[in-house]
Amino acid sequence: MAVGLDIQSDGREYAGKITGFLVLSCMIAATGGIIYGYDLGISGGLTSMESFLKEFFPQVYDKMKEDTKISNYCKFDSQLLTLFTSSLYIAGLIASFFASPVTRTFGRK
């Protein structure tokens, strides 16, 4: 059941303005999206390289070379390859918790 609220206003406009802190916060938030897209492009490029697949995922490489009529989307359906790609992001998440203390201790003085 939906509930409606009647919000009263005293007629004043919001007095907020664009500050340097606001711009910096937006830039940092946007950088997170840029880094995610860059990482996705790098790991996607890596997992489609023939030399990488031949060395680490020979079953996927053989399936890729076996049938040229199947689209690339269907060729890369290995759960092990998916686990590898996911592990890159999980490792980045875990490493980010240790980045601040390490850089504080060993960073530029």
Paired tokens of 11 = 């007629």
Each domain of the chain, given as residue ranges in start order, spans: 54-109
Contact 96, 108 (CB under 8 A): no
- Would you say the pTM of this structure is higher than 0.75? no
Paired tokens of 51 = 């030399």
Q: What is the pLDDT along the chain (109 residues), one digit of tens a residue?
A: 555 555 565 666 666 788 899 888 888 888 887 777 777 777 778 887 889 989 998 988 888 787 777 666 666 678 888 888 778 778 877 888 888 888 888 877 6
- Report the sign of the C-alpha dihedral through residues 74, 75, 78, 84, in that order: negative
CA distance 107 to 33: 26
CB within 8 Å of 53: residues ≥ 6 apart:
47, 60, 61, 64
